[in-house]
Amino acid sequence: MVLMTTATAEPASQADQAPRPVLMKGNEAMAEAAIQAGCDAYFGYPITPQAELLEWMARRMPELGRVFVQAESELGAINMALGAAATGARVLVSSSSPGMSLMAEAMSYMAGSEVPMVLINVMRGGPGLGSIGPSQADYFQATKGHGHGDYRVPVLAPSSISEAVALTADAFEVAERYRTPVIILADGVMGQAMEPVVPVYRTPAREPAGWELTGAVERDPRVVRSLHLRPEELEAHNHHLQAKYAAITEHEVRWAGEDLDDADIVIVAYGTSARVARTAVERAREQGLRVGIFRPISLWPFPSAELAAVALGARAVVVVEMSAGQMVEDVRLALGGRTPIFFHGRTGGMVPTPGEVVEAVVHAAAVTAPHLAGHPSPDGTKAVTR
């Protein structure tokens, strides 16, 4: 049990002395960040490894006079969230991989109805019931649409608990700016681990936009819906959605780079995999390898142009994921086969070790020639998967 509860009650502060960091479990830190970001309502269902997020909300939301409901299932939770968000409330839902599958239907409805909310997926091993260990195997689910129909959902991937706290506020902002659900893609390591967090939070401003269901008092009734039976109308609506996604692609790309200035081997990794890769980079550089990390933070929109700018001239790209290879496909798309791509992944709840990543980098170095910028190797991709 962690003792930070009273300390985290501070709102965004301009204190003259910097607040002391507090040791927080990731699930609880993300929950508190949402509360401080102005979350009005939380709906959820217990599932490992994010039950602590629900439990934190169960205690804190009633304390603050806000809404908490443990629903009968993730299906119930996401639909409660849909109703609440349709009235303009700031809503959070959290779950883990199997529960996120239950939300696929509602994701499509939220995208079509343009209802904003934030969803946190603390990924676990799959497919099916899988394991309760951490994974990154929901990348496809999160970035390729989740449910049916033509739509995209912004996906933000923190790689530390502090970053998760900051991105939670960003997520509400992006959701409301574009009237879209936003997924924060975390994993079981981040949810369960404890790290120092500076309890300084951001509360995004609220700007009612005129679509919210508040009761038709002295105005025409409003309808929040995704049904447009006439094909011409639905096509026009889809064009509107696509224009929105184009705007998000232009303005909401997020990524970070480390040690890229002189790197000729670029590791591409996000979330916990990026944390592991950081240690691997230290060790690989000790061995004389010039390695850097390109860390996508927005998985959709994927930083394709930015990755290409960094990695097209590289000798090799090594993609590290806690999956059988999902983000690596977007890396391949971004680089167009012009840079050799190597992959290292662990599945089932296993976490790659820095040693494994170093081995993958060493292997990539061994089979590619140094400084062969612009010369693609014959076999552009080589998988190194256990």
Partner 1 sequence: MSTLTSDTRRVIYQRPEALVDTSTHYCPGCGHGIIHRLVAELLDEMHLAPSTIGVASVGCSVFAYDYLAVDFVESPHGRAPAVATGVRRVRPDAFVFTYQGDGDLAAIGTAEIVHAAARGERISVIFVNNGIYGMTGGQMAPTTLLGQHTTSSPAGRDAGLAGYPIPITEMLALLPGVTYAARGSIADPPLIGRTKAMLRRAFQVQLAGAGLSIVEILSTCPVGWGMTPTEAMAHVAHDVVETYPLGVMVDRLKVPATGAREA
Give the footprint of partner 1 on this chain (CB under 8 A).
Answer: 40-41, 43, 67, 69, 71-73, 75-77, 79-87, 89, 91, 105-106, 109, 113, 213-218, 221-227
* Closest separation in Å from C-beta 148 to partner 1: 11
Count of CA atoms in the C-beta half-sphere (13 A) of 92: 30
CA 331 and chain centroid, separation: 17
* Shortest spacing between CB 114 and partner 1, in angstroms: 12
Nearer to partner 1, 18 or 216 (CB): 216
Which residue number, 47 or 358, has a Cβ lying nearer to partner 1?
47
Distance CA 266, CA 273 (A): 14
Q: Phi/psi of residue 292, each to 5°?
A: -135, 175
User: Which is closer to partner 1, CB of 85 or CB of 183?
Assistant: 85
Q: Residues near 66 by Cβ (< 8 Å), separated by ≥ 6?
A: 35, 39, 40, 41, 42
Least separation in angstroms between residue 111's CB and partner 1 is 12
The least distance separating partner 1 from the CB of residue 106, rounded to whole angstroms, comes to 6
Q: Is 37 exposed, middle or buried (0-12, 13-18, 19+ CB in 10 A)?
A: buried
Residue with tokens 């609880």, as numbered in its chain: 28
Token representation of residue 277? 């890769």
**What is d(CA 16, CA 332) in angstroms, rounded to the nearest whole number?**
48
Tally of CB atoms within 10 A around 379: 8
Question: Considering beta carbons, is residue 72 or 150 the nearer one to partner 1?
Answer: 72
Whole-number minimum distance, CB 253 to partner 1, in Å? 31
89/364 with CB nearer partner 1: 89
The closest alpha carbon to 161, from 193, 123, 183, 200, belongs to 193
**Nearest distance, CB of residue 124 and partner 1, angstroms:** 23
Neighbours of 262 (CB within 10 A): 9
Residue number, 148 or 371, with CB nearest to partner 1: 148
